[in-house]
Amino acid sequence: MQKSSSMGFFAGLVTVALWASLPLLRELVQLPPMLTAAVAMLAAAGMAQGLERFREPGQRPAPVGSGRFWLMGVGGLTGALYFYFLALSEGDPAKVTLVTYTWPVGFMLVADRLAGRGLRIETLLGALVAFSGLVPLILTASESVPTPPLAYAAGVAAGLSWIVFSLYLKADSQSRPTDYKRLFGGVAVIALCLHLLFEPSVGKSTVEDWLMASVIGVGPYGVAFMTWGFALKRCSTTVLGILTYLVPVLSSLFVVALGWAPLSAPLMVAVAAIFVSGAITQTALPRPFFAPERRRAVGRAPSANQARDAFPAIPMPAMPPLGLLTWSRHLITARSWAKARQRL
């Protein structure tokens, strides 16, 4: 369990790093957004097809045609991309990005509910701290562009779509891999249709534009979505939700590392907020006996979903604040049990 959770945590870090590189790569592509998404998803589908050849025949994903696959998988990912690009085109990018980044909070709350844990104070408090730390960083890039209600609504719709897509990946069958080939291919077809319907035709483009769009498909879209699905099945949703707040922070750090912008106070505040929020979510606050999770815990073994979605035992070298709190809590619990047995 510990090894699996640690691998899931590492996969989450890889996902966050790849997503953080997306704004930089997107600046190198001069194609309409949905056309870029279509090309990227087509490249991601080709990569997934190539990776399947290295699997054993019994480990290859079976063809999927269920309504959940098309509605939550293909529809969720397509909606996340389309509504976010729509929000960016209709309003201030900083403001709509801030609205969209409420999705990790919703995802953590829904995942906790589905796992039978109910409402956790640590989840709410940690997510609030992480989100508050991002506010100065994101709003410093505000362009003071009028933002109509449509832009905010599209931002909310993009966040809800991310929640639906993440829940699909998390709930997907554990007995076989997710069919990423058909998932990415379906999104590519729908994205191309949306481009033809709602976006202007391609004007002047270069080979570099199409090449960079394909690179986006292999990295921030293809590999990142696959590692995200891997992490969701093996790591705590609360930890992964907090990690997603690192995306704009790492994006800003990449810009600073390239010399395109100086290191700013809002960036440092956001970094500190992420670490503090992670420490809060790893701290077990006292619960009254009448709390739902306490009542379920009395005289009943944890369910399979609760056991799979429990907090991982993060190694101390991985992230010192989180690992130190986990190690200390386990040590205190072990000593308490030892003293209780001595009294008996």
- Please state, in angstroms and rounded to a whole number, the distance separating the CA atoms of residues 312 and 94: 33
Amino acid identity of residue 163, one-letter, is I
Longest dimension (CA), the chain: 81
Exposed/middle/buried for residue 189 (C-beta within 10 Å: 0-12, 13-18, 19+): middle
Dihedral sign from CA coordinates of 306, 294, 9, 27: positive
What is the predicted pLDDT for the residue at 332? 36
pLDDT at 338: 45
Tell me the pTM: 0.76
pLDDT tens for the chain, 344 residues: list them. Answer: 566 678 889 999 999 999 999 888 988 888 999 999 999 999 999 999 888 777 665 555 555 667 888 999 999 999 999 999 998 888 888 788 888 888 888 888 888 777 776 667 777 888 888 888 878 877 776 666 778 889 889 999 999 999 999 998 887 655 467 789 899 999 999 999 999 999 988 878 889 999 999 999 999 999 999 999 999 888 888 888 888 888 888 888 888 888 877 888 888 888 888 888 877 876 655 554 445 554 444 444 444 444 444 434 333 233 333 333 333 334 334 444 344 445 44
Helix%, strand%, coil% for the chain, nearest 5: 75, 0, 25
Nearest to 155 by CA among 227, 80, 211, 218: 80
Distance (Å) of CA 47 to CA 58, 75, 76, 260, 296: 20, 21, 21, 32, 44
Q: Which stretches of 214-288 are assigned E, i.e. beta strand? A: none
Are 274 and 314 spatial neighbours (Cβ–Cβ below 8 Å)? no
Residue 197: Cβ-neighbour burial (10 angstroms; 0-12, 13-18, 19+): exposed
CB atoms within 10 A of CB 15: 25
What residue type is assigned to position 159 of the chain?
G
CA angle 30, 183, 51 (to 5 degrees): 90
Whole-angstrom Cα distance, residue 165 to residue 192?
A: 19
Taking the C-alpha atoms of residue 7 and residue 248, their distance in angstroms, rounded to an integer, is 23
Residue count of the chain, please give it.
Answer: 344
* C-alpha–C-alpha distance, residues 330 and 337, integer Å: 11
CA dist 117 and 126 (Å) reads: 16
Pick from 1, 5, 63, 17: nearest CA to 314: 5
CA 76-280-18 angle, 5° bins: 40
Cβ atoms of 83 and 201 within 8 Å: the answer is no
Question: For position 4, what pLDDT does the model report?
Answer: 67
